[in-house]
Structure 1
């Protein structure tokens, strides 16, 4: 068993669900009214109707998709690019059709004229997981929030302020004491003269 991301119809990440280790691809899940309880989620095995067409969203009540591709780390609000997935699937299908046609043509040639066997060249896989938040939303999320000091911090600040005041008073007291000693010494010297 492994975790697979579950996304809404817009591709925004909802949560991880547990699926079989062999699960891959993108599979829709539907919401149905069952026994009077709205939004009971069920998954389906296929993504096409019997006639080969993709199911109509209004017919099927697609609630979202289960994705067989892990979420790219580091995204604030992961979004699966469903359009890129559909485009990639179309490109894979076109590459397979082209390969099948080239293979059929190659096999139809006599062995001495064949040359190298055609090779299936798959299109490069695009990045499917993208950031779902705008740069402004990310900036708002990552902006440092002003921290209000808690009671301990406030008391600590007040204690430091009081200690500084006491130290200043001690310094003033020492300076005044030195002045008094100096005056007393002058008085004594005047009395002795």
Structure 2
């Protein structure tokens, strides 16, 4: 099993879903908007009465989105699968395959000595199918730094640092005053000795 993206009908990413490892391509998924008895259940009894074979009033299921067998590339903020590009790519692949089949049929119809080289299937390059659905302005708004409100621990830490800086300043002032006092005492001593 592998996880592949699910998109809505506009191609916007919804979520990942698990599929078989061999899954590839693009497959629709449906919403069942039917009234009455669900599909698969025998319609023999409804409200306690036996039913005969009635014409079915089943409505067509609505496409809800697509399961995509192509992984989303990293770095997209709001990935969108380009369904139009996928359809164009599928059409180009089919045209290339049909062209190859025609060339192969013509080649096989020729006698062996006239055949030449075997035709080669030339597949078109796969376009970029996953695109960013947000504008650069929306991405800038999402990625700009948000102001952070300090929590109680941050506030207490800031106050503690401020108090330590105040204590350091008081120590420096105390040392300066102590040096002045020592200087005055030495001056007094020198005056007494003279």
TM-score (norm 2): 0.78
Q: Which residue of 2 aligns with 1:43?
A: none
Aligned partner of 2:157 in structure 1 is 156
Matched, 1:129 2:165: no
1:162/1:117 Cα in 2 relative to 1: closer, same or farther (>3 Å)?
A: same
Distance 1:167 1:21 in 2: 67
Report how far residue 192 of structure 1 moved. Answer: 4.6
Aligned to 2:11: 11
My pick for the range that moved more, 162-171 or 86-95, is 162-171
Aligned pair 1:20/2:20, yes or no? yes
The answer to whether the 8 Å contact 2:82/2:131 transfers is yes
**SS of equivalent to 1:33:** coil
Question: For residue 119 of structure 1, what is the aligned residue in structure 2?
Answer: 120
Alpha-carbon distance between aligned partners in 1 of 2:193 and 2:71, rounded to the nearest angstrom: 98
RMSD: 2.1
Name the CA distance, whole Å, in 1 between partners of 2:142 and 2:169.
44
Matched residue, 1:142: 143
3-state secondary structure, aligned to 1:166: helix
Q: Give 5+ residue unaligned stretches, structure 1.
A: 37-58
Contact 2:8 2:64 in 1 (8 A): yes
Provide the C-alpha distance between the structure 1 equivalents of 2:159 and 2:11, rounded to a whole number of angstroms: 52
Aligned to 2:111: 110
* Corresponding residue number in structure 2 for 1:39: none
Residue range with higher mean Cα deviation, 97-106 or 107-116? 107-116
Structure 2 counterpart SS, 1:73: coil
Q: How many residues of Structure 1 are paired with residues of Structure 2 in the alignment?
A: 171
Question: Shift of residue 5 of structure 1?
Answer: 1.0
**1:191 shift after superposition:** 4.4
Extract unaligned runs of 5+ from structure 2.
Answer: 37-59
Name the counterpart of 2:181.
180
Q: Structure 2: how far apart are the matches of 1:107 and 1:170?
A: 100
**Structure 1 CA distance for aligned equivalents of residues 176 and 122 of structure 2:** 90
